[in-house]
Amino acid sequence: MTDLERTESHDAGCAEDVEDDSATNADRNESIVDRAREIIPGGAQTGLRAQAYDTGDVAFESASGATLTTVAGEQYTDYHLGFGPIVLGHAHEDVDAAARAAIDDGVLYGAGTAPLEVEVAERLVDLLPSVEMVNFCNSGSEATYHAIRLARAATGNEKILKFEGCYHGWHDYVDVSVYPPVDRVGERYPESDGMLSAAVENTLVAPFNDPDTVEAIVRDHGDDLAAVILEPVPHSVGCLLPRTEFLETLREATAVHDVPLIFDEVISGFRHSPHGVQGEVDVTPDLTCVAKALGNGYPVAAVGGRSDLLAQAGGDNESGVVISGTYSGSLPGLAAARETVDTIVAEDIQAYLTDLGDRYREGLTDLLEDHGIDGRIVGHRSIFTVQFGVDGEPRDYEDVLGLDEERFRAFAAGMRERGHFFTPNPYKRHHLSAAHDESHLESYLDAADAVFTEL
């Protein structure tokens, strides 16, 4: 056999190995997905996760920086980022090192306190204008649940007021009128079967950005209201930017009637600013909920606010508020939160993400115009999305109704084919992380140009 023949034989063997590996990985992916569907509802840990994978046909193997890798070996630039927690990038070296170091000292104590607990709480008190005391938990849903219980205990009332298009978690208190159909706008709309009717009946609903309506509701129900809760920038429907008059009226009305105001900054906190949206708009709530970007993907969350409200959970008397959780204050999560917050502040992450987000939004706006496609680009700082079939700046949930859902799903599928991953839910959003850079921007806009041509 000549040297050339040996080389050709070797190359052919390598090609067969690659093809075999590819086939094996694809088979393994299919096997995992099939097994998941048999024993996990929807084949994923939540219905929204199954939806985020579009057809539920993908199993992920690893993530690094801005890249997701599937079991089948496919790689995607990730704009989903776990629904938003990954603000520094996947597998961030310093954050993961901090969590590993904490593990070496024991994952959970479950009694007393720990230095990490105090250090992270002090950071939240220093950074968030509303926060005087802090209780840690593990998710945004827990944080809003605890905040509402604290408010109900303080006021002795049960009713709460929330806003259409705002999502505050899965529990019965608040899973109302997040995405009501057009014929249910303006009324209580439970988002799930199995919800407690009394919880739904005690939830009032109002349009976002309407100062006159919210002032009237608080005035008429002030003696019965336990709390008003909102996302100061509702990102569960893409992005609704708050009117200054709306937030100021909300703050004044709740203060006059002594109704605690809760800012759900689970999405916005530490993603938009280390001081939260409350630091940007100069409106201080009574209670604040943070999670997601607080720990760059680790399960850590907190409710913080006025010391008189938080002190109810101190366990000093029999009539106090019970806020409990076996895994609250888990050391790896707290270590990740400390490192994440310190990195965000030290490296001015939001300035970088805001500039990058502006460029994505500008580039996409230009492409929509170039292709003559009816739609708009909405977002704020590191969050953006495309909303087809609607125009103008959305001010409330009704302005989001009527968007072209099928066209967005086609856009998401086309972008995924070109290596860009985000949820195909037309009401959700893209996220950016510090691991995204100029090359990701150029690649995304090139792919969007091609997909818009197909659309």
Task: Answer yes or no: CATH 3.90.1150.10 is held by domain 348-423+437-455.
Answer: yes
Burial of 240: CB neighbours in 10 Å, binned 0-12, 13-18, 19+ = buried
Rounded to an integer, what distance in angstroms lies between the CA atom of residue 408 and that of residue 337? 34
Long-range contacts at 408-411 (CB < 8 A, ≥ 24 apart): 409/54, 410/455, 411/386, 411/448, 411/451, 411/452, 411/455
* Res 67 pLDDT > 90: yes
The answer to whether 137 and 143 are in contact (CB under 8 A) is yes
pLDDT (0 to 100) of residue 13: 46
- Catalytic residue ranges: 167, 264, 292
What average pLDDT is seen over the chain? 92
- What does the block give as tokens for 22? 């590819």
Consecutive H or E run containing 44? none
Confidence of residue 361 (pLDDT cuts 50, 70, 90): very high
Query: Which ranges of 40-114 would DSSP assign to H, the alpha helix?
Result: 47-52, 93-104
Rounded to an integer, what distance in angstroms lies between the CA atom of residue 165 and that of residue 163? 6
- What does the block give as tokens for 245? 């008059």
Taking Cα atoms as reference points, which of 209, 304, 290, 219 lies closest to residue 254? 219
pTM of the complete model beyond 0.75:
yes
Task: Tell me the percentage of the chain whose pLDDT exceeds 90.
Answer: 82
- 169: which residues sit within 8 A by CB, 6+ positions away? 139, 140, 141, 142, 143, 144, 145, 175, 266
Mean per-residue pLDDT for 201-206? 97
Q: What is the pLDDT of residues 136-177, one digit of tens each?
A: 999 999 999 999 999 999 999 999 999 999 999 999 999 999
Rounded to an integer, what distance in angstroms lies between the CA atom of residue 124 and that of residue 342? 11
φ and ψ of 48, to 5 deg: -70, -35
Mean per-residue pLDDT for 357-369? 98
Parse the chain into domains and list their residue ranges: 1-78, 93-346, 348-423+437-455
| Least confident stretch, 98-112, 222-236, 277-291 | 98-112
Rounded to an integer, what distance in angstroms lies between the CA atom of residue 125 and that of residue 319? 26
From the DSSP assignment, how many helices (H) and strands (E) are in the chain?
14, 14
The answer to whether 65 and 435 are in contact (CB under 8 A) is yes
How far does Cα 302 stand from its chain's mean position?
14
31: left (phi over 0), alpha (psi -120 to 50) or beta: alpha
- 25: which residues sit within 8 A by CB, 6+ positions away? 71, 72, 73
Confidence of residue 318 (pLDDT cuts 50, 70, 90): low
Taking Cα atoms as reference points, which of 295, 274, 272, 329 lies closest to residue 116? 329
Q: What is the pLDDT of residues 3-60, one digit of tens each?
A: 434 344 444 444 444 445 666 877 887 787 778 778 877 777 766 666 655 545 788 8
pLDDT (0 to 100) of residue 24: 84
The pairing of strands 133-137 and 261-264 is unpaired
Confidence of residue 311 (pLDDT cuts 50, 70, 90): very high
pLDDT (0 to 100) of residue 6: 37
pLDDT (0 to 100) of residue 3: 42
Rounded to an integer, what distance in angstroms lies between the CA atom of residue 24 and that of residue 380? 42
Q: What is the pLDDT of residues 111-140, one digit of tens each?
A: 888 999 999 999 999 999 999 999 999 999
φ and ψ of 165, to 5 deg: 90, -5
Rounded to an integer, what distance in angstroms lies between the CA atom of residue 233 and that of residue 238? 10
Q: What is the pLDDT of residues 257-297, one digit of tens each?
A: 999 999 999 999 999 999 999 999 999 999 999 999 999 99
Topology (CATH) of 93-346: Aspartate Aminotransferase; domain 2 (3.40.640)
- At 176, is the secondary structure helix, strand, or coil? strand
